[in-house]
Every structure is written in structure tokens, then in C-alpha cells.
């Protein structure tokens, strides 16, 4: 197992249940409408689907929180939702997962961000996504909401072992708020991990960031096609963004860690041959990573644990989570 014994990784996974992680992020209600195809419409060349059921699951920063909770840790989730039915359904789902929602504030001026996926297919086959409809307003949160979030953060961060910033570009993180949040985390002496879709440079000074290849290419300014290009870009980005660690995730090509002293380590993907669905895999990686760091794992061990978690989640359908028991089984399986 690439010089790291299974027992060493499992030792930290077993500590997950004693940890508490704060997640501050853009919250999304992932709505799934499940239907059976009936016939073609006479009105247009489209399928008529018969509605079977619908559910709302945590998406965006809420999915990262759900992943951490699934691994056994306590989660304190901060964010902004609308004053609507989606917010109520999302909070109900989060409460069922024992996620603390006291830091979720309502903004009646914007709807809860919602991504609706319509899945079609009969009982005997895997249902396929037919269409996705997004309802997202991406303007900056008000100064009042920003103050509420930062005040909650300052008041409660001492009780948490680490913090994850989950940025989907929906307005929580902006020129006025981001550096304030990062400084609050640093002042409390906590590990801070960043998963930012569009504006990683704003998170200067964080402990670790986890852009994927596409996001890293965007920041670097050119498409990263080879491992040599990834390594050149990563060294430059870690310094410019003043990060202690930078982890560039590369899907089937694994992930590359950049550490102090210009150290570079590449970790091949765990079990990428059985990929079914990569939805939410980034949330799984960053959630597992920050939890392993909070449990006291060295970063080289933490990324291996996160890599195994990603290897499990890509074999599941939809936005899925991983349990500590599954993770231990996966580590043992690959050690045998």
C-alpha cells in the first residue's frame, strides 16, 4: 500500500467520530424528480414521464457537510438559504443527519439555490438523468448577513477542530467577506480547507486548497494537459496563493500534493476502474481530507484516506456519501 500500512490509516479513520468540523459554504438543495417514461407526446417530440417520487438532498456546501457527518463527525454548518419550501426541506434533511443548522440564516431576498434533476427509467434499469434545471441567484450576500455569519464563526469556531470553506460562487464568498472568514479561522489556530469553484485566489493564506484540474487550469491561465504542466503550475500556485498545501485533483489520474519546500507527491486514483458517477466526488475528497487532518493525520496520510473515500463514492449513483465503516473496508481490501 505505497509504504503506508492499512492500520496507520484506519487509526485516524476511527478518530473521526470524536471530531467536530465547521463548514461554511454556499448551500444548494439538490432536488431529484424520479419518473417512469410512458410515451411520446403529441405536442412535441418529447417523452411524457409519469411522476413517481421526489426528494431534496444536501448539495454544494451542504453536501460537503453531509459527507463529513456520514463519516461519523459532528458538523456545524453555516450558510444562507431563502425563506421558502426548499429551505425547509433542506434543513429537515440536514437535521435528520444530525448536522447543526444554527448558523444557517434566511435571506428572503433570494430563493434557496436549487438544482433539479429529472431521472427517468423503469424499475429494472438504472435511472438516467434526462435534464437538469438550476434555480440559482449568484449575487453577493448583504453586509448584515456577512456580519451574522462572521459573528457566528467567531463565537463557535473554538469548539470545532477545523473549518471547510465550500465556495460554489453563489455569493457568500466575495471581496468583502472571504479574507475576513480566512482571518477568523487563522486567528483561532484551526486547519482551514478550501474548495472553491471560481475564486480560489481570494482565499490566500488558507492551510489547504483542493482545486480540480479544470479549476487549476483556469487559475494558472492555460490548460494543464500533462503531469509536468500540473507540477509546474502547482508549485507556482501554492506560493502565489500563500497556501501551506495545494492538492490538485485529477479524476482518473489521481491527485498531486504540493507541500512546503517545493515537495511534490503524486497519488494514483484508488479504484478508478469501477467509476459509475463522479457527482459530488470533490466534496467527498475535501470533506474526508479536512476530517483526517483534524484527527491528527499528516497531510500525506490524510490525502490517501481522502483518495480511498473518492474511490468509493464514484461507484455510487448520484450525490452520495461514504461511511467510516466503508472506508475501513476499502483500506483493508486494498492492503490485502
pLDDT tens-digit readout, 293-308: 999 999 999 999 998 8
CATH-assigned architecture of domain 6-28+60-112+138-335: 3-Layer(aba) Sandwich (3.40)
Three-class secondary structure of residue 118 per DSSP: strand
**Could you tell me which residue, 148 or 331, shows the higher pLDDT?**
148
Contacts of 324 (CB under 8 A, 6+ apart): 13, 14, 16, 17, 71, 72
Q: What is the pLDDT of residues 254-295, one digit of tens each?
A: 889 999 999 999 988 776 555 444 555 788 889 999 999 999
Enzyme catalytic residues = 283
What confidence category does residue 32 fall into, taking pLDDT thresholds of 50, 70 and 90?
A: very high
Residue 265 C-alpha cell reads as 507527491
CA distance 321 to 93: 14
Residue 319 clears pLDDT 90, i.e. is over it: no
CA distance 73 to 165: 17
Residue 318 clears pLDDT 80, i.e. is over it: no
pLDDT at 277: 44
How do the domains of the chain map onto residue ranges?
6-28+60-112+138-335
Angle, CA 269 vertex, CA 263 and CA 270 arms, to 5°: 120
Q: What is the pLDDT of residues 57-95, one digit of tens each?
A: 999 999 999 999 999 999 999 999 999 999 999 999 999
Kindly report the pTM of this predicted structure: 0.91
Q: What's the mean per-residue pLDDT of the chain?
A: 90
**Mean pLDDT, rounded, for 171-188:** 93
Residue 171 clears pLDDT 80, i.e. is over it: yes
**Mean pLDDT, rounded, for 101-112:** 95
Pairing of strands 255-259, 245-249: antiparallel
Per residue, the 3-state secondary structure of 155-170, as one string, reads HHHHHCCEEEEEECCC
Amino acid at each position: 500500500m505505497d509504504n503506508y500500512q492499512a492500520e496507520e490509516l484506519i487509526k485516524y479513520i476511527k478518530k473521526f467520530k470524536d471530531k467536530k468540523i465547521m463548514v461554511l459554504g454556499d448551500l444548494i438543495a439538490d432536488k431529484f424528480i424520479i419518473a417512469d417514461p410512458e410515451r411520446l407526446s403529441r405536442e412535441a417530440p418529447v417523452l411524457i414521464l409519469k411522476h413517481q417520487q421526489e426528494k431534496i438532498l444536501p448539495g454544494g456546501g451542504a453536501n460537503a457537510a453531509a459527507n463529513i457527518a456520514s463519516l461519523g463527525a459532528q458538523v456545524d454548518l453555516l450558510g444562507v438559504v431563502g425563506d421558502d419550501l426548499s429551505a425547509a426541506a433542506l434543513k429537515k434533511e440536514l437535521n435528520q443527519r444530525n448536522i447543526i443548522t444554527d448558523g444557517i440564516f434566511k435571506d428572503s431576498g433570494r430563493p434557496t439555490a436549487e438544482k433539479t434533476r429529472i431521472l427517468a427509467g423503469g424499475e429494472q434499469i438504472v435511472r438516467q438523468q434526462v435534464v437538469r434545471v438550476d434555480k440559482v441567484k449568484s449575487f453577493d450576500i448583504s453586509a448584515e448577513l456577512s456580519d451574522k455569519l462572521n459573528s457566528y464563526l467567531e463565537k463557535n469556531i473554538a469548539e470545532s477542530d477545523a473549518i471547510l470553506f465550500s465556495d460554489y460562487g453563489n455569493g457568500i464568498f466575495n471581496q468583502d467577506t472571504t479574507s475576513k472568514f480566512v482571518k477568523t479561522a487563522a486567528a483561532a489556530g484551526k486547519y482551514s480547507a478550501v474548495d472553491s469553484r471560481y475564486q480560489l485566489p481570494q482565499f490566500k493564506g488558507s492551510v489547504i486548497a483542493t482545486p480540480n484540474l479544470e479549476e487549476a487550469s483556469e487559475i494558472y491561465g492555460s490548460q494543464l494537459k500533462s503531469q509536468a504542466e500540473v507540477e509546474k503550475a502547482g508549485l507556482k500556485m501554492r506560493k502565489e496563493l500563500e497556501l501551506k498545501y495545494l492538492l490538485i485533483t485529477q479524476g482518473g489520474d489521481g491527485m498531486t500534493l504540493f507541500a512546503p519546500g517545493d515537495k511534490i507527491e503524486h497519488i494514483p486514483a484508488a479504484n478508478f476502474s469501477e467509476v459509475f458517477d463522479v457527482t459530488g466526488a470533490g466534496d467527498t475528497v475535501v470533506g474526508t481530507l479536512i476530517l483526517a487532518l483534524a484527527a491528527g493525520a499528516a497531510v500525506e496520510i490524510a490525502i490517501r484516506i481522502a483518495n480511498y473515500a473518492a474511490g468509493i463514492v464514484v461507484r455510487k449513483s448520484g450525490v452520495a456519501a461514504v461511511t467510516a465503516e466503508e472506508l475501513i473496508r476499502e483500506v483493508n481490501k486494498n492492503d490485502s
